[in-house]
């Protein structure tokens, strides 16, 4: 798919068919995540791939808006490593760039996905860290639920001329 088309037509998908996602597609999602830009090219990310039903079903218990994980075939917890990047703000934006790459690649490959916010909400970070036994230096930043889409959402109008400022505010 052409890049601009992928960016404009990607939507958050929260209904999935339950069909299994092949391993080579999971690898492509993670490869695209690792090609995201990062400050000083530190690439401070780690990815927890969740494809076991029993663990996917635990996610709605540790995240208040993750009900779709009961239907999702896969989830990816994008984490940042404070041993690699010590500025938490940079960890968050670097992992956000990686997360967006996952969403766009998923769309390109015919999958649906939705970004579930984790960082900086302690009440989501703490139970997720506990569930996955994350070491002290690993911060969970975002959770992505994925699967083959079982809903179609049309492209909304979002272009706002009044948000664009040329050369001055
Ligand atoms: C930081 C962040 C956190 C989000 N958290 C959630 C969430 O907890 N649950 C959810 O269903 N969607 C979540 N979303 C998805 C947004 O609701 C969605 O991107 C927004 O409504 C725009 O729709 P679109 O993705 O279809 O363009 C999140 C998105 C971002 C970027």
Model pTM score: 0.98
- Whether residue 117 has its Cβ less than 6 Å from ligand 1: yes
Atom 12 of ligand 1, nearest CA residue: 116
- Give the pLDDT confidence of 21-71 residue by residue, as tens digits: 999 999 999 999 999 999 999 999 999 999 999 999 999 999 999 999 999
- Whether residue 51 has its Cβ less than 6 Å from ligand 1: no
The answer to whether the CB of 90 falls within 8 A of the CB of 39 is yes
For ligand 1, the distance from its centroid to the CA atom of residue 13, given in whole angstroms, is 10
């Amino acid at each position: 798919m052409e890049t601009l088309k992928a960016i404009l037509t990607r939507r958050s998908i929260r209904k999935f068919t339950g069909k299994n996602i092949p391993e080579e597609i999971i690898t492509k999602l993670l490869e695209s995540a690792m090609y995201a830009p990062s400050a000083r090219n530190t690439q401070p990310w780690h990815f927890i791939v969740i494809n076991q039903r029993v663990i996917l079903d635990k996610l709605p218990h540790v995240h208040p808006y993750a009900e779709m994980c009961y239907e999702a075939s896969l989830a990816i917890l994008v984490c940042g490593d404070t041993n690699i990047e010590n500025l938490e703000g940079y960890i968050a934006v670097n992992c956000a760039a990686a997360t967006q790459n996952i969403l766009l690649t998923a769309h390109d490959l015919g999958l649906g996905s939705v970004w579930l916010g984790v960082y900086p909400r302690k009440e989501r970070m703490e139970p997720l860290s506990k569930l996955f036994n994350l070491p002290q230096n690993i911060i969970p930043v975002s959770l992505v639920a994925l699967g083959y889409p079982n809903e179609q959402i049309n492209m909304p109008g979002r272009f706002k001329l009044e948000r664009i400022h040329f050369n001055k505010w």
